């Protein structure tokens, strides 16, 4: 049995296949998943699993160089924004874009992980870094 925190085989596989600057999205329950993108749907019910549990577990396996958030999170979900920024403090850079631009960017992601999170704009695009 796998020893690390991340037990979901599909998420583990996607992370192992990522190269430098490839994108992985962790999303709330409402973010549309673009057609053609791989959907890894973890949502069971409202709040389960929550966004931060999924993000922190993914971060235990994925080297993140950069991340993107929707600008609207600053006004509509400041508490979540602070939690995300703190979890990603080791990333080299970050950016904020409009929610519409965020949704466009998700079309380039290797996969979208859908959580049960039901708070506004609880979405992040993670850009894979390198460990050397």
Instruction: Give catalytic residue positions.
Output: 20
Distance CA 29, CA 72 (A): 17
Contact 128, 27 (CB under 8 A): no
C-alpha–C-alpha distance, residues 32 and 114, integer Å: 9
- The answer on whether 27 is annotated among ligand-binding residues is no
- If one counts every other C-beta atom within 10 angstroms of the C-beta of residue 102, the result is 23
* Tokens 């085989």, residue located: 9
d(CA 117, CA 46): 6
79 annotated as a binding-site residue: no
**Cα-to-chain-centroid distance, residue 55:** 6
- Rounded distance, CA 94 to CA 2, Å? 31
The answer to whether 101 is a known ligand-binding residue is no
Binding site listing: 28, 99, 121-123
Binding site listing for substrate: 28, 99, 121-123
């Amino acid at each position: 049995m796998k020893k690390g925190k991340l037990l979901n085989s599909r998420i583990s596989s996607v992370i192992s296949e990522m190269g430098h600057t490839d994108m992985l999205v962790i999303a709330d329950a409402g973010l549309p998943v673009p057609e053609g993108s791989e959907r890894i749907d973890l949502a069971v019910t409202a709040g389960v699993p929550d966004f931060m549990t999924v993000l922190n577990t993914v971060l235990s396996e994925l080297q993140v160089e950069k991340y993107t958030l929707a600008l609207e999170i600053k006004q509509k979900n400041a508490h979540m924004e602070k939690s995300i920024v703190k979890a990603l403090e080791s990333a080299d850079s970050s950016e904020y874009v409009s929610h519409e631009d965020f949704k466009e960017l998700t079309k380039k992601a290797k996969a979208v992980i859908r959580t049960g999170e039901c708070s506004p704009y609880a979405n992040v695009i993670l850009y894979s870094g390198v460990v050397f």
